[in-house]
């Protein structure tokens, strides 16, 4: 080895350590309703679960269609504040359907066993609690609450009534996330130290600019019922049909999208949540009257508790980035960075392992020549030169089968619990532990301060 120009160049060379030998393997995970995927409980023709949906907009309709793919489930009722959606509900699910603007009429029906709550966020807790008290099992869309303080009332209602409540963040039932959970627990990436997660969107619909029906009017919409406990404002249909854009009814990026990321992370890591929350962002592109940001970034500290790892978390959602491909709604992913490997999650799970260099390298250009020679002699005594040194890089990928649906698995888990009365994973407490830091992210952004969060008691520090 030459004695000149050894430091940075050789440091970089030693970092590369010669040619890489790469091993790539791909595995297909268990498919829908086989092995790790939940199998629906076998039922007789006379043992149906009778379902009602409260809020039959885009999410509620999609949820209902997925729920009806589970054997033994039939649709009997729907509620919505817009008449046009009730007309459409009968067109899609049959004229036999009972429909009403008032969700309480649905809950009063003895032929309703379970309900999907897919209203604007500010109604979630109230309707879910009313449904539990009415003896119904509940599938409630995320976030399960709009305000942290409502979460404890919901947990108490679930405990008191003994009914099943499952939050609608389907990653908790995904075979992809189950595999990631197993890989992390097995030590596949070593010690976890950082998680990065992101969702990018670009199109108007993906940025919540939903279509407004031409017949929207005070005659076709129960405006007061939509407002509920929100501030009184004059009729303005954009606030109903694009409610996610407004703090009065929605929970912004935090409650709509960060909460999916929190749910997946908590399921994979076994963590209850972060201890500290910090956010920034802004309305950068979609200046359409919304009062919530279209770009949001959050930083979170997770402390080590028992077997739960300590790590830092970075979340990002940007509505001016991402794909504009016709069939791609968004681009999203996770990176779990460990001491030995990186695990990424997108359409599947990939673990990439790279051996660290056998030598630490050196940076000695600024040493006198005699000291450089002395250093090299000592260094090579400890690390004999091996020009054929090879580092190995291995990659393992786990993919779901074609057509796999984690939403279907999530509803299958829900209805299995309705029949067996066994608890679900994503109950009211799990839902609040995901919603809490998501809602505090919003508060951090709007109030420009750091928040503390107790993930075990599920309360804001100092409040």
Among 10, 115, 136, residue whose Cα is nearest residue 67: 115
pLDDT at 17: 35
CB 20 within 8 Å of CB 393: yes
Mean local confidence (pLDDT), 454-459: 96
In whole angstroms, what is the distance from residue 199 CA to residue 414 CA? 26
pLDDT at 231: 98
Left, alpha or beta for 126 (phi > 0: left; psi -120 to 50: alpha)?
Answer: alpha
Cis peptide before 143 (omega within 30 of 0): yes
Q: Residues 156-179, buried b or exposed e (16+ Cβ, 10 A)?
A: ebbeebebbbbbbbbbbbbbbbbb
Longest dimension (CA), the chain: 93
- In the chain, pLDDT over 90 holds for what percent of residues? 82
In whole angstroms, what is the distance from residue 259 CA to residue 142 CA? 7
- Indicate the pLDDT class of residue 47, thresholds 50, 70 and 90: confident
SS3 per-residue string spanning the chain:
CCCCCCHHHHHHHHHHCCCEEEEEEEEECCCCCCCCCCCCCCCCCCCCEEEEEECCCHHHHHHHHHHCCCCCEEEEEEECCEHHHHHHHHHHHCCCCEEECCHHHHHCCCCCCEEEECCCHHHHHHHHHHHHHCCCEEEEECCCCCCHHHHHHHHHHHHHHCCCEEEECHHHHCHHHHHHHHHHHCCCCCCEEEEEEEEECCCCCCCCCCCCCCCCCCCCECHHHHHCCCCCCCCCHHHHHCHHHCCCCCCHHHHHHHHHHHHHHHHHHCCCCCCEEEEEEECCCCCCCCCCCCEEEEEEEECCECCECCEEEEEEEECCCCCCCCCCCCEEEEEEEECCEEEEECCCEEEEEECCCCCCCCCCCCCCHHHHHHHHHHHHHHCCCCCCCCEEEEEEEEECCCCCCHHHHHHHHHHHHHHHCCCCCCCHHHHHHHHHHHHHHHHHHHHCCCEEEECCCCEECCC
Lowest average pLDDT, out of 193-207, 340-354, 359-373, 389-403, goes to: 389-403
CB 271 within 8 Å of CB 265: yes
In whole angstroms, what is the distance from residue 448 CA to residue 222 CA? 36
Chain segment 142-169, per-residue pLDDT in tens: 999 999 999 999 999 999 999 999 999 9
pLDDT at 24: 75
pLDDT at 127 over 90: yes
Lowest average pLDDT, out of 4-8, 27-31, 169-173, 272-276, goes to: 4-8
CB 189 within 8 Å of CB 343: yes
If you count them, how many residues does the chain have?
Answer: 463
pLDDT at 318 over 50: yes
pLDDT at 3 over 80: no
pLDDT at 37: 61
In whole angstroms, what is the distance from residue 125 CA to residue 134 CA? 14
The overall pTM is greater than 0.85: yes
Question: What residues contact residue 297 under an 8 Å CB cut-off, 6+ apart?
Answer: 279, 280, 281, 314, 315, 316
pLDDT at 12 over 80: no
**Burial of 423 per CB tally in 10 Å (0-12, 13-18, 19+):** exposed
298 bridge partner residues: 279, 315
- Indicate the pLDDT class of residue 172, thresholds 50, 70 and 90: very high
In whole angstroms, what is the distance from residue 54 CA to residue 213 CA? 19
Mean local confidence (pLDDT), 14-24: 44
Mean local confidence (pLDDT), 185-201: 96
CB 446 within 8 Å of CB 262: no
Q: How many CB atoms lie within 10 A of CB 439?
A: 28
Give the chain's end-to-end CA distance (angstroms, integer): 64
pLDDT at 141: 98
Domains within the chain, CATH numbers bracketed: 21-35+172-229+236-357+391-401+425-460 (3.30.360.10), 49-171 (3.40.50.720)
* CA distance to 35, 89, 202, 236, 323, per residue, from 206 (Å): 34, 23, 7, 21, 11
- Indicate the pLDDT class of residue 7, thresholds 50, 70 and 90: very low
In whole angstroms, what is the distance from residue 302 CA to residue 310 CA? 5
- Indicate the pLDDT class of residue 49, thresholds 50, 70 and 90: very high
CB 271 within 8 Å of CB 455: yes
Left, alpha or beta for 190 (phi > 0: left; psi -120 to 50: alpha)?
Answer: left
Chain segment 379-437, per-residue pLDDT in tens: 999 999 876 655 566 899 999 999 999 999 999 999 999 999 999 999 999 999 999 99
């Amino acid at each position: 080895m030459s004695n000149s120009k050894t430091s940075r160049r050789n440091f970089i060379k030693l970092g590369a350590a010669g040619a890489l030998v790469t091993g790539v393997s791909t595995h297909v995970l268990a498919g829908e309703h086989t092995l790790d995927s939940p199998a629906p409980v076998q039922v007789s023709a006379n043992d149906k679960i009778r379902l009602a949906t409260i809020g039959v907009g885009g999410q509620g309709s999609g949820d209902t269609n997925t729920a009806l793919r589970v054997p033994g489930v039939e649709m009997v009722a729907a509620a919505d504040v817009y008449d046009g959606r009730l007309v459409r509900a009968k067109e899609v699910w049959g004229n036999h359907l009972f429909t009403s603007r008032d969700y309480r009429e649905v809950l009063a029906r003895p032929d309703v066993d379970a309900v999907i709550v897919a209203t604007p966020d500010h109604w979630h807790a109230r309707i879910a609690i009313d449904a539990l008290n009415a003896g119904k099992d509940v599938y409630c869309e995320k976030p399960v609450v709009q305000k942290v303080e409502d979460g404890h009332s919901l947990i108490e209602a679930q405990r008191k009534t003994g009914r099943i409540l499952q939050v609608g963040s389907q990653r908790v039932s995904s075979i992809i996330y189950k595999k990631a959970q197993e890989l992390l627990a097995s030590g596949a990436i070593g010690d976890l130290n950082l998680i990065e997660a992101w969702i990018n969107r670009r199109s108007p619909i993906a940025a919540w600019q939903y279509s407004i029906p031409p017949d929207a009017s005070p005659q076709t919409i129960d405006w007061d019922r939509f407002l509920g406990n929100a501030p009184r404002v004059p009729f303005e249909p954009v606030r109903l049909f694009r409610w996610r854009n407004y703090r009065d009814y929605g929970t912004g990026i935090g409650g709509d999208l960060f909460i999916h990321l929190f749910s997946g992370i908590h399921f994979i890591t076994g963590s209850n949540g972060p201890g500290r929350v910090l956010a920034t962002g802004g309305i950068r592109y979609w200046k359409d009257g919304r009062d919530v940001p279209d770009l949001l970034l959050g930083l979170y500290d997770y402390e080590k508790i028992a077997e739960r790892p300590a790590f830092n978390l970075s979340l990002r959602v940007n509505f001016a980035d991402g794909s504009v491909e016709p069939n791609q709604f968004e681009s999203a992913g996770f990176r779990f960075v460990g001491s030995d490997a990186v695990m990424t999650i997108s359409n599947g799970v990939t673990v990439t392992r790279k051996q660290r260099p056998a030598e630490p390298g050196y940076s000695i250009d600024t040493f006198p020549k005699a000291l450089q020679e002395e250093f090299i002699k000592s260094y090579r005594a400890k690390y004999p030169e091996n020009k054929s040194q090879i580092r190995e890089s291995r990659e393992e990928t786990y993919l779901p089968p074609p057509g796999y649906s984690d939403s279907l698995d999530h509803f299958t888990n829900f209805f299995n619990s309705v029949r067996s009365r066994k608890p679900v994973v994503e109950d009211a407490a799990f839902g609040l532990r995901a919603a809490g830091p998501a809602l505090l992210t919003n508060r951090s952004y709007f109030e420009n301060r750091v928040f503390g969060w107790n993930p075990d008691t599920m309360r804001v520090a100092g409040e």
